[in-house]
Copies of this chain bind each other. A is one copy, B any other.
Amino acid sequence: MTNPAISALAEAIGDRHVQTGDDIEPRFRTDLRGTLHAAPLCVVRPGSTEDVSAVMRIATAHHIPVTTQGGRTNTVRGAMSAETGIVLSLDRMTRIDDLDIKSMTLTVQAGAPLQMVQEAAAEAGFLVPLDLGSRGSATIGGVISTNAGGLRAVRWGVAREMVLGLEAVLADGTVADGLKKMLKDNAGYDWKHLMIGSEGTLGVVTRATLRLRPMPATTMTAFCALQSFDDVYDLLRDLDRDMGGQITSFELMWPELYHLVLDHYPERTAPLPRTFPLYVLVEAMGGDPAGDPARFEAALGTAIESKLVIDAVIAQSERERADLWAFREDIGLPMRAKGPMYAFDVGVGLSDIPETVRRTVAAVRTDYPDAFILTYGHAGDGNLHFVIGVGEYNDAAERRVDLAVFGAVKAARGSISAEHGIGLAKRDDLHFSRRPGEIALMRTLKRALDPDNILNPGKVINMDETFTGPVVA
């Protein structure tokens, strides 16, 4: 180890926790798609907040970029390091420091996988409302740093809403210790929200205190058919009103996706005919096993009477519930079977969804009249997913499809990334959803918190002041 920075790191956190050269495990260089990226200068695996602080002090002293890694389930290349950088893996920091059932909080190190935390809370009778498909790999630090969203945001919000207290290490190694358990704190600036969702570019999240909820006793799930998108607004409002705020998921599926899944899994029974214009999977959670199912059925009954819903099935068992969710969740294989696709995760106001879909489809079909377009999403959150196949898969095609989608999003003042983040993949398209004053403010914040630009540099925001957005032909 002749590199003085590497020597200093080995000295600070222990030789065996610093990997270099051929000793670097492939997992630290592999992204979600399995692509092996160039090896970084080194991988460090701190065991404590103090270790992370030491790493950042050394990185600052030697001007070396630092990219923090959690579960690497990120889709926007947010956790991939440069060859000249340090990969800071939190995979040794998985300790639950405190499960306070009186305060209904859980304090945990950032490297703990979400599922581990969910299970610890469940054992004590509590729910961690945040849930997503990658729960087994995604870490608490990762879901916080990317402000993960998931399937229950309409009721309990995104990751941000679950974080009561946060500890983070700043660029120069300063530990900002904001761990706390109360719901209300107006003593000074709420800097934690700046860390949440900033993808490791403003600081390294090391520990968090999460708010827990009493574990719901009931889950009611229905799959409904709608006559038109016009009915979505009233349906969501009425169901949430009638269920007294207990709607946890409101997932829209356009028919193309439903057909795709049905066709791919012919052995599965279709819960509803394939002929309807729109489908929605609704779930509610409550606390009254004796009364909740009837309340849910009555709320749906009212919706059917008022023609907001034209057909519906309610799951009568956990098995039936899983079967309904399978039409929403088992979409990966059917999609991949259709060939390479471009996937999008955008956000718009609920009232802007129809026009955003219309514009996107029209723009894509201008270039690709036969394009295959799937639309679905967490509609209750204004979160839409597009999956688009155009018959070719190359940079130019990707860019054309990007511009079609992002143009529609911009017209609706929407977000080009509702829950996946920006990372490297979408950095230079940030201008489609943020106005110049916002971009300027973000640059100011980045410069202030990371003056040497060593925290995951190149991600989230283009710091070149002359860059004012991509050239759009």
Contacts and interface: CB of A to CB of B under 8 A. Distances in A.
A399 interface: no
A61 interface: no
Interface string A430-463: 1001110111111011111100000000001100
A435 B176 contact: yes
A292 B419 CA distance: 35
Contact of A183 (B154, B202, B242, B246): B154
A431 to B, nearest CB: 10
A385 B413 CA distance: 42
Contacts of A237: 101, 104, 125, 214
Given A184-B158, A184-B415, A244 B197 contact: no
A146 interface: yes
A217 to B, nearest CB: 7
Nearest to A461: B188
Contacts of A175: 437
A245 B216 contact: yes
A102 B238 CA distance: 12
A191 B443 CA distance: 11
A433 B100 CA distance: 20
Interface string A351-383: 110000000000000000000000000101111
A112 interface: no
B196 A437 contact: no
A178 interface: yes
B288 A187 contact: no
A133 to B, nearest CB: 16
- Max count, chain B CB within 10 A of own CB: residue among A170, A198, A213, A445: A445
B198 A149 contact: no
Interface string A230-244: 000100011011111
Given A183-B154, A185-B347, A382-B182, A102 B233 contact: yes
Nearest to A409: B187
Interface in A79-121: 100-105
- Max count, chain B CB within 10 A of own CB: residue among A194, A244, A350, A434: A244
Nearest to A378: B184
Nearest to A420: B186
A415 B215 CA distance: 28
Given A176-B437, A383-B182, A438-B178, A102 B187 contact: no
A182 B414 CA distance: 8
Contact of A182 (B238, B241, B347): B347
Nearest to A236: B104
Contacts of A11: none
A410 to B, nearest CB: 11
Contacts of A103: 233, 349-352, 382
B414 A213 contact: no
Nearest to A193: B193
Contacts of A213: 240, 245
A233 to B, nearest CB: 4
Interface in A192-213: 193-194, 196-198, 202, 213
A174 interface: yes
A218 B190 contact: no
B104 A350 contact: yes
A287 interface: yes
A182 B348 contact: yes
Contacts of A190: 147, 160, 193-194, 196-197
A426 B187 contact: yes
Given A100-B349, A188-B442, A438-B176, A194 B193 contact: yes
Interface of A: 100-105, 125, 146-147, 149, 153-155, 157-158, 160-161, 170, 174-191, 193-194, 196-198, 202, 213-218, 233, 237-238, 240-246, 285-288, 291-292, 295, 298-299, 347-352, 378, 380-383, 413-422, 426, 430, 433-435, 437-442, 444-449, 460-461
Given A170-B437, A187-B422, 11 more contacts: A101-B237, A174-B440, A183-B381, A187-B416, A189-B194, A189-B460, A191-B442, A213-B240, A214-B238, A214-B240, A244-B285
Rank and list the top 4 A-B pairs by shortest CB-CB distance, nearest first.
Answer: A181-B349, A182-B382, A193-B193, A448-B448
9 contacts: A147-B186, A177-B435, A182-B414, A185-B433, A186-B415, A191-B194, A244-B292, A245-B245, A291-B291
